[in-house]
C-alpha cells in the first residue's frame, strides 16, 4: 500500500506460513500499533454506542423486530467484550511488558466483527424506511469508516478488510436496487470509498515515517547511552589515574626529599668544620642546588594540589605591610646579589583574600621577575582601582613577545627571547606562572599582564579591598641578634632515616647542643620512662616505622615532660594538610629538604619562645 515507506508487518489475524521470530523492528512496530489502537478505543466505543442508539431509534418502526433485536444483542455483546478487552490491556500495561502481537490480534478481531455488524445493518436495514432513514444509516456507516482511518491505517490488511466491509455491501446493495438514483448513489459511495482509501494511504505513510523516526531516535538514544557510559568509564579511569598521580607525587616527594635533607645537613656541618674558602664555596654551591631542587618539588606539588582540589580558599583581611616585609626579607638578598633594586609601594592597603595564596602568587611573580631581569629592578606595588586593589609586580627585564603572552601560563613552557637565555634563566620547570594563574582562578582574581620586549613586564592581580585590622600591641624592641648557640641545650631527635638522623645530629652538635636521637616511638618511650629532666626541644619526623607518626611522639613526650615542650615537626610529605595538625597540636612545621639556616632560625625562635 505504501511505496518507499517503512515496511509495516501484517498484524491482522490469519494463518502464518512460517512461524518466524519477530525482529526488533517488528516488535517495535507492534508496540506502536497496539499503543495507537488501544489509545483510540475508548473514543471509538463511545462513537459506536452513539451510532447504535441512533440507528436503533431511526429504524425502530421500520425494521422487523426480530432482526433488530438480534442485531442489537450481537452489537451489545461485542461492545461489552471490547470494553473488557480495553480494561484488560490497560491493567496488563501497568503490570509490565506486554505481548503486543497478542493484544493486536484481540483488538483486530473485535474491529473486524464490528465492521461486519455494520455491514449486516447496511444490507438488512437499507431498503426499509425512506430517504431520511437511508441517509442517517449512510452517514453513520461513513462516519465509522472515516473515524477508523487514523488508527487502522497502521495495519494495511486490517484496514482494507474493514473498509471493504463498510463500503462494498452498501455499494452493491444500492446498485442492485435499480433506478437512476440508486445507481448514482452507488457511484457516490464508490468515490467516497476511494477517498477513504487515499486517506488511509496518507495516514499509513505518516505512521511509517513516525515509527521510523522513533526507531532512529531510540538508536541515537542507545548510542548516546553507550557513549555516555564510555565517557563515564573514561572519567572514572582518569580520576583513578589522577589520584594515582597524586599519591605518586606524595610518595616521591617524601622519598626524594629524605636524601636531599640529609645532603643539606651534612653540607652545613662540613662548612662549619672546614675553614677553607674553596670548600666553603663548594658547600655553598651544594646548598644552592638543594634549595633549587626543593623549589622544583614545591612547584610540582603545588600544581598537583591545585589540580586535585587540595587547596581551600579561606579569605581574610590582610595588611600588606607585613606581607611586603616578609617578601623583602626573602628576595632582597637575591636581588642585591644581581645588582637589582627591589622596592615595595602601597604597603598601607589591606586586601580581602587568602593570605597564603596571595603570598604564593607574589613569591612566584617576584622570583620570576628577578630571574629574568639583568638591569634596573623590580617593583611590587598596590594601588586602588574602584572597589578593588591592583596588586602588581613590575620588572625591567627581558620582556615577553606578544605571541608568547598567552602561552607563558602553560605548564613547562618558558619564554623565548631574541637574546640568548643565561643558565639561571632556564632554571626551573616553567611552572611558576602556571601556578600563579591557577591560584588566581581559585580566588576569582583576574590576572593580566603587559609587556614590551627589552623594556620589561608587569603582572596585575585584582583583589577586593580589605578592612584595616586592629594593630597588635607592640612588643618589646628586639635585642641585637647574636649567633645561635645551643650550649647546655638538650634536643631530642626522632628520625627513622639513618642518614638524615646522622646529619641532623652532627649539625646540632656542631651548634653546641646535646642530642638524643631515636628512630622509633618505642625507643622514645623507653628513654622517657627513665628520664626526669625535660629536654629543651623535640625535633620529630612525621612518618615513623610501624605506621606510627610524629603526633604520637608529641603526645608521649608532653605527657612525660609537660605541655609546654617546644616541638618542630619535619616531614617530606606536602599532600596531607599538616598545617591543621600544626595549629591544633601547637608545633611548627618544616618541609624536607630543610635548609640549615631555616632550621637555625626556627630553633632560635622556639627556644626564645620557651
316-319 vs 350-353, strand pairing mode: antiparallel
State the pLDDT at residue 297: 61
Best-predicted range by mean pLDDT (153-157, 241-245, 531-535): 531-535
State the pLDDT at residue 16: 41
Q: Which three cell numbers stand for residue 479?
A: 635585642
User: Which CB contacts under 8 angstroms, 24+ apart, belong to 359-364?
Assistant: 359/323, 359/326, 359/327, 360/302, 360/435, 360/439, 361/436, 361/439, 361/440, 361/461, 362/323, 362/327, 362/391, 362/393, 363/327, 363/330, 364/432, 364/433, 364/435, 364/436
Tell me: the pLDDT tens digits for 434-460? 778 888 888 888 888 888 888 889 999
Tell me: the pLDDT tens digits for 550-603? 899 999 999 999 888 999 988 766 555 567 788 788 888 877 767 777 788 788
Tell me: the pLDDT tens digits for 470-510? 654 444 444 444 455 788 889 999 988 887 888 888 888 88
State the pLDDT at residue 478: 43
Per-domain boundaries in the chain: 24-177, 245-310+483-610, 316-464
State the pLDDT at residue 268: 67
What DSSP line would sit under 361-380, residue for residue?
A: HHHHHHHHHHHT--SSEEEE
- The answer to whether residue 301 scores a pLDDT higher than 70 is no
CB contact at 8 A, 510 and 538: no
State the pLDDT at residue 479: 45
State the pLDDT at residue 392: 92
Place of cell 477517498: 195
Tell me: the pLDDT tens digits for 362-404? 988 998 889 888 888 999 999 998 888 999 999 988 888 877 7
CATH number of the domain located at residue range(s) 245-310+483-610 in this protein: 3.40.50.2300
- The answer to whether residue 416 scores a pLDDT higher than 50 is yes
- The answer to whether residue 240 scores a pLDDT higher than 60 is yes
State the pLDDT at residue 577: 58
Tell me: the pLDDT tens digits for 78-134? 889 888 888 888 888 888 887 888 888 888 888 888 888 888 888 788 777 777 877
C-alpha–C-alpha distance, residues 359 and 325, integer Å: 11
Q: Which helix (H) or strand (E) holds 326?
A: helix 320-337
C-alpha–C-alpha distance, residues 252 and 249, integer Å: 5
Q: Which helix (H) or strand (E) holds 323?
A: helix 320-337
Q: Which helix (H) or strand (E) holds 241?
A: helix 180-273
- How confident is the model over 404-428, as a mean pLDDT? 55
CATH number of the domain located at residue range(s) 316-464 in this protein: 3.30.565.10
State the pLDDT at residue 98: 78
Tell me: the pLDDT tens digits for 310-332? 566 788 888 998 889 888 877 88
Which of these ranges, 228-242, 462-476, 523-537, has the smallest mean pLDDT? Answer: 462-476
State the pLDDT at residue 294: 63
* pLDDT confidence bin for 12, thresholds 50/70/90: very low
* pLDDT confidence bin for 31, thresholds 50/70/90: confident
- The answer to whether residue 177 scores a pLDDT higher than 80 is no
State the pLDDT at residue 500: 80
State the pLDDT at residue 2: 35
Mean confidence (pLDDT) of the chain? 77
CB contact at 8 A, 436 and 303: no
Q: Using a cut of 0.75, tell me whether the model's pTM lies above it.
A: no
State the pLDDT at residue 481: 45
CB contact at 8 A, 266 and 399: no
Best-predicted range by mean pLDDT (161-175, 244-258, 261-275): 161-175
Q: Residue 5 in 3-state DSSP?
A: coil
**pLDDT > 90: percent of the chain:** 9
- How confident is the model over 298-321, as a mean pLDDT? 70
State the pLDDT at residue 182: 76
Q: DSSP code of 480?
A: P
CB contact at 8 A, 163 and 197: yes
State the pLDDT at residue 394: 92
Which of these ranges, 55-59, 212-216, 283-287, has the smallest mean pLDDT? Answer: 283-287
State the pLDDT at residue 271: 66
* pLDDT confidence bin for 150, thresholds 50/70/90: low
Amino acid at each position: 500500500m505504501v511505496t518507499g515507506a517503512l515496511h509495516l508487518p501484517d498484524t491482522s489475524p490469519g494463518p502464518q506460513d512460517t512461524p518466524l521470530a519477530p525482529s526488533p523492528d517488528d516488535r517495535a512496530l507492534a508496540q506502536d500499533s497496539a499503543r495507537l489502537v488501544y489509545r483510540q478505543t475508548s473514543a471509538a466505543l463511545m462513537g459506536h454506542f452513539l451510532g447504535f442508539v441512533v440507528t436503533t431509534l431511526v429504524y425502530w418502526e421500520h425494521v422487523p423486530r426480530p432482526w433488530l433485536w438480534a442485531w442489537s444483542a450481537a452489537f451489545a455483546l461485542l461492545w461489552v467484550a471490547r470494553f473488557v478487552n480495553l480494561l484488560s490491556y490497560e491493567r496488563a500495561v501497568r503490570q509490565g511488558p506486554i505481548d503486543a502481537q497478542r493484544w493486536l490480534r484481540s483488538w483486530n478481531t473485535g474491529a473486524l466483527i464490528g465492521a461486519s455488524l455494520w455491514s449486516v445493518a447496511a444490507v438488512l436495514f437499507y431498503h426499509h424506511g425512506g430517504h431520511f432513514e437511508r441517509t442517517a444509516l449512510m452517514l453513520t456507516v461513513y462516519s465509522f469508516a472515516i473515524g477508523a482511518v487514523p488508527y487502522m491505517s497502521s495495519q494495511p490488511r486490517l484496514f482494507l478488510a474493514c473498509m471493504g466491509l463498510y463500503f462494498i455491501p452498501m455499494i452493491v446493495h444500492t446498485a442492485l436496487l435499480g433506478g437512476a438514483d440508486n445507481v448514482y448513489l452507488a457511484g457516490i459511495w464508490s468515490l467516497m470509498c476511494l477517498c477513504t482509501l487515499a486517506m488511509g494511504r496518507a495516514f499509513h505513510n505518516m505512521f511509517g515515517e513516525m515509527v521510523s523516526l522513533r526507531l532512529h531516535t531510540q538508536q541515537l538514544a542507545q548510542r548516546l547511552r553507550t557513549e555516555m557510559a564510555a565517557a563515564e568509564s573514561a572519567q572514572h579511569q582518569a580520576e583513578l589515574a589522577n589520584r594515582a598521580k597524586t599519591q605518586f607525587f606524595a610518595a616521591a616527594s617524601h622519598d626524594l626529599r629524605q636524601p636531599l635533607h640529609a645532603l643539606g645537613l651534612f653540607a652545613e656541618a662540613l662548612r662549619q668544620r672546614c675553614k677553607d674558602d674553596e670548600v666553603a664555596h663548594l658547600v655553598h654551591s651544594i646548598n644552592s642546588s638543594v634549595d633549587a631542587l626543593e623549589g622544583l618539588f614545591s612547584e610540582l606539588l603545588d600544581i598537583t594540589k591545585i589540580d586535585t582540589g587540595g587547596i581551600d580558599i579561606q579569605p581574610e583581611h590582610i595588611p600588606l605591610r607585613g606581607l611586603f616585609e616578609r617578601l623583602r626579607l626573602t628576595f632582597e638578598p637575591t636581588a642585591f646579589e644581581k645588582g637589582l633594586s627591589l622596592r615595595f609601594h602601597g604597603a598601607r592597603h589591606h586586601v580581602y583574600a587568602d593570605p597564603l595564596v596571595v603570598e604564593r602568587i607574589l613569591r612566584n611573580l617576584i622570583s620570576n621577575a628577578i630571574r629574568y631581569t639583568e638591569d634596573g629592578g623590580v617593583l611590587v606595588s598596590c594601588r586602588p582601582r574602584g572597589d578593588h586593589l591592583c596588586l602588581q609586580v613590575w620588572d625591567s627585564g627581558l620582556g615577553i613577545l606578544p605571541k608568547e603572552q598567552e602561552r607563558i601560563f602553560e605548564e613547562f613552557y618558558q619564554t623565548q627571547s631574541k637574546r640568548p637565555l643565561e643558565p639561571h634563566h632556564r632554571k626551573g620547570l616553567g611552572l611558576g606562572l602556571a601556578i600563579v594563574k591557577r591560584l588566581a582562578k581559585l580566588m576569582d582574581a583576574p590576572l593580566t599582564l603587559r609587556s614590551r620586549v627589552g623594556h620589561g613586564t608587569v603582572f596585575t592581580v585584582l583583589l577586593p579591598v580589605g578592612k584595616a585590622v586592629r594593630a597588635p600591641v607592640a612588643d618589646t624592641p628586639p635585642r641585637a641578634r647574636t649567633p645561635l648557640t645551643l650550649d647546655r641545650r638538650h634536643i631530642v631527635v626522632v628520625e627513622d632515616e639513618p642518614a638524615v638522623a646522622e646529619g641532623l645530629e652532627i649539625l646540632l652538635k656542631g651548634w653546641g647542643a646535646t642530642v638524643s636521637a631515636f628512630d622509633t616511638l618505642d625507643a622514645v618511650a623507653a628513654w622517657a620512662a627513665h628520664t626526669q629532666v625535660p629536654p629543651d626541644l623535640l625535633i620529630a619526623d612525621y612518618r615513623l616505622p610501624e605506621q606510627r607518626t610524629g603526633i604520637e611522639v608529641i603526645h608521649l613526650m608532653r605527657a612525660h615532660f609537660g605541655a609546654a615542650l617546644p616541638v618542630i615537626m619535619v616531614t617530606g610529605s606536602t599532600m596531607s594538610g599538616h598545617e591543621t595538625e600544626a595549629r591544633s597540636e601547637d608545633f611548627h612545621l618544616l618541609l624536607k629538604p630543610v635548609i640549615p639556616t631555616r632550621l637555625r632560625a626556627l630553633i632560635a625562635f622556639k627556644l626564645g619562645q620557651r
